[in-house]
Structure 1
Amino acid sequence: MISTWVSVIVMLVAFVNGARNEDDIQPCAEVQTSSSVVPLGSPVTATCVIRDGCHLVIGQAVHIEWRLGDRSLPGSQVANESGRFSEVVIPSFNHTREFLTCCVRASPVQVVGGVEIRAGYPPEAPQNLSCQTNLTTPETLTCSWDPGQQETHLRTKYTLHIKIWDSNENHTYELLPGVHRYTIPRSGFVLFSDMEIYVKAVNELGEAASAPIVLEPVSAAKFDPPTIVKVQVVPKKFGCLKLSWSLSQQQAWMRDYRFNLEVQLKTADNSQRSEQPILVSRVRPTRSVDQCRLLHGTQYLVQIRVRYQQGPWSEWSSSRAGVTLESAPTGRLDSWMKASGDHMHKQLNIHLFWKPSKQFRANAQNVSYIVSVKRVPGEKGKLCSTKGNYCTFKLPEKAKKVYLSAINAAGKSLPTEVRIYLPKAPSVISDVTVLPHDDRSLLVQWRSLVSSSLTGFVVEWRPLLETDLSLTQFEITDRNQTQFLTTGSFEPYKPYGISVYPRFKDGIGLPQTVNAYSRQKAPSMVPEIQINKIWQSQIELTWEEMPLDQRNGIIQNYKIFYWDKKGPIKVVNADPEERRVVLKDLNNVSPYKAFMMVSTFGGSLNGSTIHFEIEALDAVAVVMIVTLSGVGLSFLIVFIVLTYFRNQQRLKGQFWPAVPDPANSSIRRWTSESTQDSHLSWDNEEPDPMYLSHLSFLDLPVKLSKEDDDPWLSNAEDTSDLGESICDSPFIRGYSGSNSDSVPYATVIFSGPCNSPTPKEAHVYLRSESTQPLLETEESFSPKCYHNVASDRMPSDQCFFGPSHDCVPEKGADPGILWDDFPFLRALALNDTQND
């Protein structure tokens, strides 16, 4: 190969730059090297000699240059007459393959000769030679090896050499380049005859051979997985199983040879498994194998594998189950108790959980558990019996402890005493956190306060999507521990409730509970957004709580994205606990779009888009305006009504003056059974009764003109003597008026009864312009307070209205007549006296 490349280069250079003669074609120069294949990094020396007949140097000075690939090398030209010899030295050849060329300096530079140099490493001795025999049809012997860590960069040839000692046969097998494995046919080896095997590697820089191995082909055979025929109980031996096994059908002809056997046992519930397989040496397939020191009454799954002498192990056989003899349970149970209910009235509900301790052995497949208030379990005092790992019961009165026992067909265990601890209010635990450790464990961490009565903690965990209490697990830790690694079958994306309880000397404290996930991802759904309230430029959005099985992790936040046609997208974060958000400063011109994004630690999910818009005057604003208007109007009406009732009489006097009714002007209707109010009542048909104390008639002129002043108005400020004159009175001779059948109203001054206090202002009726005749009535009525009564019914020295300082009879008066009893006549009498 090397000579071929050199010949190609030389012929090419000779054709281009050599003598162009059909009969004599020679190269223009000759290049020689110390070696065309050298160790990588070693020095290389080369020489170049220009032929005398080379047309490139005829009649001109010769200048030789060297090139290694595209890079120029400094050369040393030998000083002689022709100057056509040059030598170059490469201190370190760092290329695995490169061309070294000799050139003549011309225009342009001309290549006159060259050579290819390759570099690499000699082969290493092959390592890890091993051979394995296949006893299935067809039977073969396969050997493999490792060529070494270092690459040679040269073509390396491998050959496999075998020498059979008994027959003194030698076999050599050549391998293809790059192949480090060879399978020897059955004709090349003898099963029960020792063989010497080695591998040789050769390249242009050297050769190396592996260390030879000596083996018997049958001892290098990897047998097929054996078969477990049956697993039986050893009679009268607890904890022992008898195994019967055999080879595969193709290898059954070796049943009389002794094999090494390994046994792997594990309990059916995978709670116990032997750390190392149990080795049984030199056993024939026709003989059974006993395995003892196993758990009593426990079902085991058994697997075996075999090998011949020091050969490779076969693959594991299929599993076969077997059960050891039963015995009574041994050891104690770990328990965890929670109490609830009214402990003041001795009505406690107890939730008791238990699990096997490291020392407990059920020693049977079917085990039940009994909780009793008596140490020796029986029907009397039994609280519950179950095959599970928990029990719920009502605690009997005065019971301070219960006993937990395991029972199987062979007997019962010693009872485990469980003290009843009442729940306590103090909590010394805070900052409970849960971190995923891997897919099958969670790391629980917490903080606790220093307490002298604290004895330890209980870590409890259970799946929140399951209601079966048997799935509850727990672990009891000491008081100095503040973290615990929970292990179990934690499903990814499923929530688990983890609680940490403090244990005191006399009770169980309040727990701290958190939810945790071994792995989280984006939620499976997004709640539907509901428009709850709309205000002017504001809107409230609400949504329902997400189902626990759809969360796939702990909800970190809800984000509302909303936008209109004109503005950018805005984002509002909502509190995960409140599940509501208020969008403010909204534009009531353009419609809006919005959607929700729900996020967990494992990802986020976007919900569907909703549309809404804010009206210029929405329903809420209308309701608020109408409500405020109604409230204001109601307050105004109430104020007016209250003002009216407080100032009723004053308003009556302003808007409706009290004008005497002519139809009710008879003095006969003036009674003493009225109140002190002198104004007429509009609520009753007749005027309010009044007390009469003085009556006078006014003197009126015969004619009144419009130019004359109104005597009522002119004398309004002084009316004390208006009743002194009765000139032209209808009761006086010579009276004349405009109408003889009518009389003007008289001024009547009222006061209270004799024993009533003197009013601050006298009640006065001014004169009326009406000429309505006074009506007289003839109906009968009972005597009023001012009517005359028989003298025999009242003492002469007593007023009708009671004693008073005005009740003094005048001189010369008839002692049988009391003028105070006749106020009207008394007024007439006073007037007559003045006239006299």
Structure 2
Amino acid sequence: MVPDGESIKTMFLYDYKGTNVTTTKISEHVHSLTVHLDQESENYSDVICDTTKGNINGASFHASYPPDDSDLKCETRDLESIDCFWNVGRAANEHPAMERTYQLQGSSCINGRSGKCSQKVKLDAAERNWTLTATNRLGKLEIHDNADLTKRVHLVAPDKVAASTVNPRNISLKWSWTVQKYSNLNITCQVHVSDGNSNTKTENIGVGLTAAVIKDLIPHWDYVVRVRCGTAQHFWKWGDWSKSVKICTKGDVPDALDVWMKVKADQAVISWKVPLTNQSHGEIFDYKVSWAKTKDKNQSNQTNVSRSNHSLTLTLDPSEEYMVTVTARNINGSSSPSTIIIPRSNLDTSEVKTSWISGSNGSFFLSWPDSPNASCGYIVDWCPVFGNCTFEWMKVPPNRTHTTVFSKNFEDGRRYLLSIYACTEGAAVLLQRRKGYIRETKIGVELFKLKYKQEDSAVEVSWEPIPLEKQTASIHGYILYYQDKSGNVFNVSTDDPEATSLTAKNLNISMYTFTVTASTAFGLCGNSSINVTLNPPADQLIMLILISLGAVFLILSVSTIICYRQWACIKHKVYPPIPKPVLTDQWLTLPDEHTSHHLHFDQSYYREVLDIPKLHDQFRPPQPEVDQDYKPFTFSQTPKGYYNKPLKKSQPCLTLPTTGLTSQPGLPSSPINGVFPNPLYNPSYNLVLQSVDREVKSGPEVHEGIPFIRSFSGYQPQSPDETFTTTELEEYPNSPISCVSTYILLPQKTSN
């Protein structure tokens, strides 16, 4: 409404963006606004009015619902009062102007907006109509529930729950009720038992029930217990839970042990799982193991094993079957015996198949065909293939032929052997075997220790079997790469994972680099290399030696021919010409032709020896006569004269060259090679010349009636009127004969 003199020009809903807005003029001072909301509105909003005089006014409005509560349910807890519950309708938190009020059976309900109302009433075993009235400024609502409340009893929680009797495997509970009328009701109670890992519930029924028995408990174990109850005849709902109570059962003997075995040759390893706390029922003192042959059980052996050990190795006769029994002992006594049959270890298991298996998600999934022998189920055991076989096992019920094997001890890159046995009344029967990895890992480098052996043009590269602890992945084969000095790469391969050698053929005589690698799921792994220099084959080596010897012989032959042709030059360099000595007739004439003296040309005393009558130290330039048969000679003494001997090569000085001398006609014959006559003294001495190689040359030549003896060394005897001249080196014109090891024979007088 607006004052006199004004009228409403526009009218709208503040901050509303919708389009379904209708304005209606009722009178000059009254207008109406109709809005069809397309979304849920706030509890209240503003309406703006713009008048003809420019005044802006408005009003607020509140939007709500009439009561729409539902689903009234009534019950009793103590058989002396009524409790009703319902679902509160929309706009429960509405504006105070629209607040709802509730009445139950005509009496006001305090806090009725929470959907609960209680009243003290007198109950009887009859069905009644229970009415709830809800009212606000927009409307009024009544909801009804027809029920006999004696059949709708909601029991309160049991009080003072406790254990009256505690045994190793059962407990007796008791409690009380705070409502006296419960003693006439037929009650069922539920006991909840929890040990922290599992929960169980048991039910007990009785009139005015105040006790219950809990069975199948674990000895020496802690439990938490609570109880709730309800009516048994006209069950309405479970009552409230009691307070929790902690109870510990008494101890008992240990549970029977889980025993298994591994047999190899005459060794049997008996192992048992460590009893869990809920199995030992107290502290384990020790274990007792007894064994005997199955055909003679009376002769039993036994031993005690400390509680820290959980296996025992027995040395048994492999041709006999044994029965082994293991028990555990604690303060309460010994467990039930666990018996296992050890079969003869010489049984043939070669027909049992072994196949590969791959792990998944840290475990192995196994399945096998059903076995009629598995009267007590199946046993699956596993252990690492290499190292000590610390085996683990699990038991599978008879109606299952598959299982998932998991162990906290599984490691990546380690090979495991899994065996499946059928459990029988006697010894377990091996059915199948598996081997594989939980997860394969890449094999490291330098896996192989390589050796090689050459046979002709082929090289066999071998290696020791790869230790299983280094086989972190399954090996599918091997590849041998070989590279020559030119960089050419070749390879040979094998698919045999058990191979230990590969051979490269038709190789050249060269140096090769051989590399062996293993083929795995990760590709090529474990690369190892070795450098090899190939030797020629034996026949080629012999041929090479013969060719080398032939080449050496050819070189020596050519060298010999060259040296022979150049012998004169070499002889001149090695044995230079010796100057001729000058002799007089007086030196050549001696009183006694049978007496002779040695004249030694030695650098230490040659002057003393040459100091004889008529020996002139006079020399003339040498006139050597070159001859291809030039040979050195020496003088030596014989019984009838003197002859020359060749010097040995080990002598330190050069020898005088010489030539053989023979007798000429008209001269006295002599057995020696040559004679120098002396007409003055008429000596009969002999000067004998002998070549080193004992080769006799032409005899003495007669020159002007005088015997002339020619020497290839340049030594020529002179006539009686000539001096005996010795050829001297030009570098030393005044030097006497330079050879130290040469002897000159002096004439000696002979007796007539």
* Length-normalised TM-score, structure 1: 0.33
Instruction: Answer 1 or 2: higher relative contact order, Cα 8 Å, separation at least 6.
Output: 2
> TM-score, normalising length from structure 2?
0.37
